[in-house]
Chain A
Amino acid sequence: MLDKTVDTLAAAVAGVQDGAVILIGGFGASGVPTELVCALLDQGARDLTIVNNNAGNGERGLSQLVRAGRVRKMVCSFARSSDRKNPNAAAFAEAYHAGKIELECVPQGTMAERMRAAGAGLGPFFTPTAFGTPLAKGKETRVIDGVGYVLEAPLKGDFAFVKARTADRWGNLVYRYAGRNFAPVMCMAATTTVAQVDSIVELGAIPPEHVMTPGIFVKRVVQVERDHGI
């Protein structure tokens, strides 16, 4: 019987090695698998490369991992706060200015597509994004039919941590509103995908055409108390 559900957050994040590349879903505070990241803090793996749109917003989760010195490199599109009244990513900023963490700044769509390429079995691809800008520096570029392109490499994770609303034991996932964001593509792009979910339902309870991430992309599912909203 195929049952991907695990009972504890510790079991959900077991096996993460030092030096691992971890894709973490979420956009701002939306769709962030905070409990999985906190479990990773307890698990102990170091020297991590983290791929996330941001660099650790809020008090819990990624910012704690950064503050604990466990992250060697961040791959993200926006490592600053866009909210001046509520500055965050402070832990990252401190580590960055102290030279303790590496940053790879990637255009948001290029980040998503690099993971899609990894998940879809593609090699490097040409994108018009960032052509003629500093973010194309050191990369192969080509002009094809009058359009300039930058060659970008697939971005693969050893693990992906995502948050979904509903799962079944086969790992089929349904997301809530815009909490979906990077999760589906991260599920595709990692060797071991772990989903924290609000609820686990009987097999067949999710109508097949409503499944947003097919369970083939998911290895582990753990239920976490619902904490949407505030």
Chain B
Amino acid sequence: MEYEKLNRRQIARLVAQDIPDGAYVNLGIGIPTLVSAFLPADRDVILHTENGIVGMGPGDPDAPLDLDLINASKEAVTLLPGASITDHVVSFAMMRGGHLDLTVLGAFQVSARGDLANWDTGAPGTIPAVGGAMDLVAGARQVYITMDHVTKDGRPKIVRECTYPLTGAGVVDRIYSDLAIIDVLPDGMRVIAMVAGLRFDALQDLTDCPLTLADDWRVLSPE
């Protein structure tokens, strides 16, 4: 049977739907940044950015660029009513100190026990650059990952052991791939949702560590 992969916006939308009212959230670079566009209007989701903004709003395309109002991706943002701004020490205390309910990040690889590799491919010639990723995964209460299920040449990105340098060990709670939603539990990975038409054994074939299928798994029906 045929199935269609989710696109970036569809993945972002699925994550947005699962963020509860009142949550303090840090969104990483890439698909995670798109999540903010799909947050339900009836929920207060308070976005934190490394450079100290709590209560960040979307960029205003009509406003001139203000370098003192940017997010961690160095993109223009706005301040929502109720926003606050702190310095880096306090901002990272929010991250490392367990005050953020959730962070959503991209990944090169996630391992069976929730190890995350998302900062460095270790390829020769790359300049190591970690930013705030290690602080985020060390302290955020929940770590959600958005990622393609396999690499561009078809190799699994969900693996027994990460071969890329780790960002954090045992830190991932849930994966939103372009094929499935997978919870990372102490006893392994459990699939809680899959795209329509995808068979569980086909998903397992695209994954380099054992999966189980939740009894109440659902079909993903993106809009």
Q: Which segment, of B47-55, B173-181, B190-198, B200-208, faces chain A?
A: B47-55
Question: Separation in Å of the B135 CB from the closest CB of chain A?
Answer: 3
* A79/B127 in contact, CB under 8 A: yes
Nearest-Cβ distance from residue A48 to partner chain B, whole angstroms: 19
A178 CB to nearest chain B CB (Å): 5
Chain A positions within 8 Å of B86 at CB level: 180
Q: Please tell me if the beta carbons of A179 and B131 are within 8 angstroms of each other in the complex.
A: no
A108-B88, A109-B95 known; A80 and B69 CB under 8 Å? no
What residues of chain B lie closer than 8 Å to A77, measured between beta carbons? Answer: 129-132
**Chain A residues near B50 (CB-CB < 8 A):** 27, 108
Q: Verify B138–A129 contact, CB threshold 8 A.
A: yes
B130 lies within 8 A of A132 (CB): no
Interface size for chain A: under 10, 10 to 19, 20 to 34, or 35 or more residues? 35 or more
Q: Is B222 an interface residue (CB 8 A)?
A: no
- Bound-state Cα–Cα, A129 to B50, Å: 15
- Distance in Å: Cβ of A197 to nearest Cβ of chain B: 14
Taking the closest CB of chain A, its distance from the CB of B90, in whole angstroms, is 9
Residues facing A in B40-93 (CB within 8 A) are 49-53, 64-70, 72-74, 79, 85-89, 92
Q: Is B166 an interface residue (CB 8 A)?
A: yes
Q: Decide if A135 is an interface residue (CB 8 Å cutoff).
A: yes
A43-102, CB < 8 A from B: 77-80, 82-83, 92-93, 96-97
Q: Are B88 and A103 neighbours in the complex by a CB distance under 8 Å?
A: no
Report A-chain residues with C-beta under 8 Å of the C-beta of B168.
131-133
CB distance from B113 to the nearest CB of A (A): 11
The chain A residue sitting closest to B77, CB to CB, is A178
